[in-house]
Structure 1
Amino acid sequence: MKLFWMGVIPTRRTRFVFLSFVLNLLFPCNSSTDLSLQCRMIPNTMPVLEKKGDIVLGGLFSLHDMVEEQSLPFTSQPPKRKCTSVLSTLSPTRFNFRTFRWMQTMIFAIEEINKEGKLLPNITVGYKIYDSCSTPHQALKAAMELMGGEKSSEAGEKTQRNSTCNESVPMVIGDGGSTQSLVVAHFLGVFTVPQISYFSSCACLSDKKQFPAFLRTMPSDFFQVEALVQLVKHFGWTWVGVIAGDDAYGRNGANIFANEVIKLGVCVAFHRIIPKNRQQAQILPIISVIRLSGAKVILVFAVEQDAAALFDEVQRSKLTGIQWLASEAWSTAAVLSTPEKYHHILQGTVGFAIQQANIPGLRDFLLRLNPWRSDAQTDPFLVSFWEEMFQCSLGVQTESREKEGESKPPCSGKEDLGNVTNIYSDVSQLRISYNVYKAVYAVAYALKAMQSCVKGEGPFFQRSCADPGVIQPWQLLHYLKQVQYLNSFASEIKFDENGDPAAMYDLVNWQMDPNGKIEFINIGKFDGVKQQLYIHEDIILWNGNQTRVPSSVCSNICPPGTRKAMRPNFPVCCYDCVCPPEFWSNAERTTCIPKRVEFLSFRDTMGITLVAISFFGSFSTCIVVLIFFCNRTTPIVRANNSALSFLLLFSLTLCFLCSLTFIGQPSKWSCMLRHTAFGISFVLCVSCILGKTLVVLVAFNAKLPGSNVIKWFGPSRQKAIIAICTVTQVLICTVWLLVAPPAPRQLIPREEDFIILLCDEGSYIAFALVLSYIGLLAVLCLFLAFLARKLPDSFNEARLITFSMLIFCAVWIAFIPAYISSPGKYATVTEVFAILASSYGLLGCIFAPKCYMILLRPEKNTRKHLMSKAPSSKF
């Protein structure tokens, strides 16, 4: 049996072997030829309520919550199993009055059919009902009793020994819980014995491969989940908690719900299970999770006992402000709606309940019970019911009471059920009772169809009909699947291909009346056939007696101008509303304002300063050009290759001016211009200096005897060298612009109120090549100038070039780490500063001494002075 309890699905052959083994244990058969000993039955160890009839229907109802633990010595016949319940604030009685009403409804329906005689004329329907005690193994044992139990529980031992194995019931109505029905359905399915459940809604039971003989008058949880999902969608809740009972009903239903709402973009804040032991220490963590999650709408998918355990702890923890969603198992449960301690936390609860009906005559039938009636002696459940109802003793002392030392006053015999307000006699919310009623009538209509079969036109082999005298369960199952009738309540009763009925739910709202009692107000319905939800929002009262729909979102909808910023390690429904990257929140955090754009502007103090320095450098270069032009015939200008000097001054002017392209708002064209202009201008400048250095070296070597090197470095060759060096840089820049050109880019610091607008280099390799090429020419020029620094001329330009290139190289070597470490627009400032500093270095070191001599020491600007030998410098 452990295979069934653990939910393992064995093969059909394995189940048959297993069940054969169990049946052999229950009904061991002797191999003796003595027919009187051929089948020896273990006596029935379970209390049973039965009535004889031509056709006997089995029934399973959970009148208690558990089975008493017994000590089995294995040396004697085991005693009868006793069902009980734990006395607590959650279960104040040992007897489930609601389930007892369901059981009485089955008896009422059977007796109604027998009394009218129109549906099944000349046939008497009997019953055999067991208490499954809300436990799978007890439900399985009861099902086994129904499959081969005694015909009379009062039969003596002699009759039992002299009888053969008795026939089983042709079908079973029950059980209530999905977990119990799973076990029973596995067992009965092996023998194709039809089972109709009145309260098992687990969607797993719709699988006909596993449960071929299972039907139900209770809709599948697939439909209930669809209704709940549409409810969540309708009210726009995106942050919903899920709490489930630890059974097949709770776990399967909650899992389906969670999977479906996620498809709609709803996030499940948490998913917790109510433990079956219902201990406070096990439920407290659920309360903590509810508080921490911030979810205001929580679905409880559990049976009423588990829900009561949760809400008892919710009430004890003073957790309020939660909008509870109820699954149909407790959406109209009196155990939760009656106690006043739950009213303040459950008022406003919304949930789905199966449709109700008014069954005429049922209340009078329920009130007929009396332990002093002659027929009451055969009812094994009446004593417990009566004593729990009136808290008195009928003189029947049980072992459990002896152990607990219970003492109740004797019953007077004047107790009247009509004077007691109790869920048992409350017929205002007949929902599950109506399911039981429909299940009995479905069997009756199936039997009627079986009895009405015309010989030769039957549905079985060779168009045969069933034998009315010996009903085969598989034949009855065939007719049950075909049942379709309209009952007196204008409800059509039929089963689909999965054995499920048409799903119709009432949407109920728990509202408190002026007397402080909870009423179930119908606020809508769900049509499972059309998959349509209908809601009357204007009559809903939410938790806290509010008319406004509660909000349950992890994060509110972001206002216009803001965007969602996901929270790390949180579901997608949880986010912070932040401004777009280009915006910044105002001081009051009520709106977003554009961030200020930061770049090296012509209006900034820094930009104005750099522009002034740039123009001053250009102006100074023009002054030098003017001085040189006016004194172009003087020895100093002529001796230092005036053509290269003017070209160098022109390139320096370009270097000063190219720094202006780095100032102002970056654009596509300015970004491309600033880097290419900078690279080409400086290569032209350094190439001219390289040409002047080569001239100095060639001029010295030309004075040596036998030297003809001067012919290789004439004016045309100098221009060619400059052109080749410059064109090489132009090619590098052209490839750069074609492959990955520089472009404007926004740098948006998250915690700053500004946007940095700068030029992205595009290709860092190309940018590095441009700088490296300039550096290569500069180093080569420095090396050659250093070699020519001690040449014996009164005015040796090589020394000036050496100093200028030292400054140039020092500036650009320092530029690289400064550029990398400078944030935002200051990287651009660093680059402009390097351009201006190196340009001023070249202009000052090379041309300042010459201008000094031309303007202030004209006496030295003579051929004689320049040709005279000057002492060599130690530099």
Structure 2
Amino acid sequence: MSLSPVHALAFFLGFEMLPGPIQSNDTLAYQIFHSSGDVMLGGLFPFHTGVSNASNLWRPEPLTCINLNYVGVVQALAMRFAVEEINNSSMILPGRRLGYEIYDTCLQARVLMHSAMLLVSEGLTRDIWAICNLTTYNPRVMAVIGPGSAGIATPMVKLLSTFLIPQISYAITAAKFSNKNTFPSFLRTVPSDQHQVQGMIELVAHFGWNWVASLASDDEYGRDALCQLANLALLRNICIAYEGLIPTYGATSKTPVVIRDIIQEVHRKNINVVILFAPASLSRILFQEVLQLNMTKVWIASSAWVLSEPVLSLPGIREIGTVIGFSHRGSSVPGFLEYLVSVNAELKHHKSTLSSVGFGTSTLMGYDEEGDGSSPNFAVEEMSFIRLGQYADAVYTAVYSVAHALHEVLNCSSGKCRDVDSKIYPWQLLEAVKRVNFTVLNTSFYFDEYGNPNSGYDVVTHSMDNMGYKKIGRYSGQLDINDSLVNWRTNDNQVPTSQCFSRCEPGQVKLFKGLQFCCFDCDDCSEGTFQASYGEYVNVIQS
């Protein structure tokens, strides 16, 4: 029997493999990691980033997941790390053991829904009860960690919300999931995009830019961001001079052509500052085109790509100009870096065997420069491990939020938990998760009424050192930034300009250029007239 790469990983790390009669070639709902426990958690992570021949599917057969994704692997390992840490602790859930079932989403909605239906099945069966009252329904898991992509999450989140199963995402930032009428059981350990967009507008205003472009992936995540940017920019007299949607149908021959047209239009309009909301894979494709066109701009980065390994490892990435972005404010998880090093050592030790089961044609811990998985790479530099660690804290915090809620529901405060046979239900756990307030990684953590965390953003910039980036400030409703830490790559390190106008002086009026409200010339008032409001309106009054 041959194993897929992720199942080979599970085998060599000593995880329990998938129980039950699911066959090894059933890649649609592969359970990657499994560990039994008194209370079971579900985990949904993108071990792969796509499926093959999805457009030709005409029967509901298993899909083959492709493009191994080391970030998803690291996130899943972070869940396992947190669960084992909790199980070995006498301070939280004493005498109780958490278990988990972790599935590959393949960044595909059909794959995700297949796993979601299994997670809501009754007990250890594969049956879903269609009953009127779900109060005493006992699903396979008590809570779900994930998923990590808004683009595929909506149907699954609604399904789990029907059963009021707590679902805590470690990466979804789309603002719509704050709507508790539609998504009552959804929470997250990363801030909403609504706060990120506000921070971006504050950053643009801080440097005096009023002539910017906004680019985004052509999906729900990107389109929502463009809409929020346009609304907030208008309030700050910032002109979105160009909006561009980047197609999300992958690295086809069409994608670079569309991207090239977008970039050239940005350059033609003399825009020096570009806001980019897109996933890491799409951002990498865009910057490959930027480098080919030898174009330099200031790039305002969303959290989805600013510190992503695919972008940071792109050859020549430092030549695109200055990158300033927003990253979920997190902390390194003690012991996790060492854990990743041990995993990598185990993989290198079994390199020949891994090649025979599939790892020889995929990259796990190193980024495949060709993008086709053809270059095996098992060695990871220390700095890459440190960057990978950034993906752990949001998952780690999500697991601990469930554990603290269970600690309350099981009445473990006396040092001993309620009898393991005592019935608890997901809806009871959900109410406790909403109330958690605990310290994790030396930081206080809780959810607000919309299921959003109390954390903010670090403001970071790409740098020339080994890490590839450095922190220059923070944003938590108010921007705090050290301008002197930014390398603008200009003469005397002067802040680049991106303006279509300068503020008109008293005695001048605005002469608008075309339809752009923030693009105009300033002209002196005619003899015998004056302006009443000092440059804000064209309001000429006869003396």
Q: Distance in 1 between matches of 2:89 and 2:156?
A: 32
**Cα 1:51–1:371 shift into 2, 3 Å:** farther
1:427 counterpart SS class: helix
What amino acid sits opposite 2:485 in the alignment? Answer: I
In structure 2, the partner of 1:246 is 218
In structure 1, the partner of 2:411 is 452
Q: Distance in 2 between matches of 1:493 and 1:407?
A: 42
Question: Scaled by the length of structure 1, what TM-score is found?
Answer: 0.51
Cα deviation for residue 557 of structure 1 reads 3.7
In structure 2, the partner of 1:581 is 526
Cα deviation for residue 210 of structure 1 reads 0.4
**Cα 1:466–1:121 shift into 2, 3 Å:** closer
Q: Distance in 1 between matches of 2:333 and 2:375?
A: 35
In structure 2, the partner of 1:740 is none
**Cα 1:372–1:125 shift into 2, 3 Å:** farther
Cα deviation for residue 149 of structure 1 reads 8.5
**Cα 1:387–1:167 shift into 2, 3 Å:** same
In structure 1, the partner of 2:160 is 188
Does structure 1 retain, via aligned residues, the 8 Å contact 2:71–2:388? no
**Cα 1:309–1:428 shift into 2, 3 Å:** closer
Q: Distance in 2 between matches of 1:247 and 1:312?
A: 21
**Cα 1:504–1:314 shift into 2, 3 Å:** same
2:119 counterpart SS class: helix
Q: Distance in 2 between matches of 1:428 and 1:371?
A: 19
What amino acid sits opposite 1:538 in the alignment? Answer: S
In structure 1, the partner of 2:107 is 134
Cα deviation for residue 42 of structure 1 reads 8.2
Does structure 2 retain, via aligned residues, the 8 Å contact 1:371–1:386? no
Output aligned runs, 1:23-102, within 5 Å: 45-48=28-31, 49-69=33-53, 80-84=62-66, 94-102=67-75
Cα deviation for residue 427 of structure 1 reads 2.4
Output aligned runs, 1:447-526, within 5 Å: 447-452=406-411, 469-487=422-440, 489-513=441-465, 519-526=468-475
What amino acid sits opposite 1:368 in the alignment? Answer: S
**Cα 1:471–1:422 shift into 2, 3 Å:** farther
Q: Distance in 2 between matches of 1:129 and 1:385?
A: 24
The answer on 1:421 being equivalent to 2:374 is no
In structure 2, the partner of 1:554 is 500
Cα deviation for residue 315 of structure 1 reads 1.6
Superimposed CA distance per residue, residues 667-707 of structure 1 (whole angstroms, 9 cap, x where no aligned partner): xxxxxxxxxxxxxxxxxxxxxxxxxxxxxxxxxxxxxxxxx
In structure 2, the partner of 1:206 is 178
In percent, how many aligned pairs have the same letter? 32
Q: Distance in 1 between matches of 2:265 and 2:247?
A: 15
In structure 2, the partner of 1:280 is 256
Q: Distance in 2 between matches of 1:56 and 1:334?
A: 32
What amino acid sits opposite 1:138 in the alignment? Answer: V
Q: Distance in 2 between matches of 1:246 and 1:152?
A: 39
In structure 2, the partner of 1:567 is 513
Does structure 2 retain, via aligned residues, the 8 Å contact 1:203–1:220? yes
**Cα 1:430–1:187 shift into 2, 3 Å:** same
1:367 counterpart SS class: helix
In structure 2, the partner of 1:442 is 401
Cα deviation for residue 544 of structure 1 reads 4.6
Q: Distance in 2 between matches of 1:177 and 1:124?
A: 29
Q: Distance in 1 between matches of 2:299 and 2:375?
A: 39
Does structure 1 retain, via aligned residues, the 8 Å contact 2:332–2:390? no
Question: Scaled by the length of structure 2, what TM-score is found?
Answer: 0.80
Question: Whose helix proportion is higher, 1 or 2?
Answer: 1
Q: Distance in 2 between matches of 1:433 and 1:545?
A: 39
What amino acid sits opposite 1:353 in the alignment? Answer: S
1:441 counterpart SS class: helix
1:319 counterpart SS class: coil
What amino acid sits opposite 1:474 in the alignment? Answer: W
Does structure 2 retain, via aligned residues, the 8 Å contact 1:242–1:270? yes
**Cα 1:354–1:387 shift into 2, 3 Å:** same
What is the CA RMSD across the aligned residues, in angstroms? 3.4
Question: Whose strand proportion is higher, 1 or 2?
Answer: 2
Cα deviation for residue 577 of structure 1 reads 2.8
Superimposed CA distance per residue, residues 194-239 of structure 1 (whole angstroms, 9 cap, x where no aligned partner): 1000000000000000000000001111111121121112111111
**Cα 1:422–1:285 shift into 2, 3 Å:** farther
Cα deviation for residue 180 of structure 1 reads 2.4
Superimposed CA distance per residue, residues 519-565 of structure 1 (whole angstroms, 9 cap, x where no aligned partner): 312111112xxx21111112221245862222111123446764321
Higher RCO, Cα 8 Å, sep 6+: 2
Q: Distance in 2 between matches of 1:231 and 1:272?
A: 20
Cα deviation for residue 328 of structure 1 reads 1.1
**Cα 1:244–1:109 shift into 2, 3 Å:** same
Q: Distance in 2 between matches of 1:449 and 1:59?
A: 22
In structure 1, the partner of 2:13 is none
Cα deviation for residue 67 of structure 1 reads 1.2
The answer on 1:325 being equivalent to 2:300 is yes
The answer on 1:299 being equivalent to 2:241 is no
2:300 counterpart SS class: strand
Of residues 172-181 and 115-124 in structure 1, the stretch that sits farther from structure 2 once superposed is 115-124
**Cα 1:447–1:518 shift into 2, 3 Å:** closer
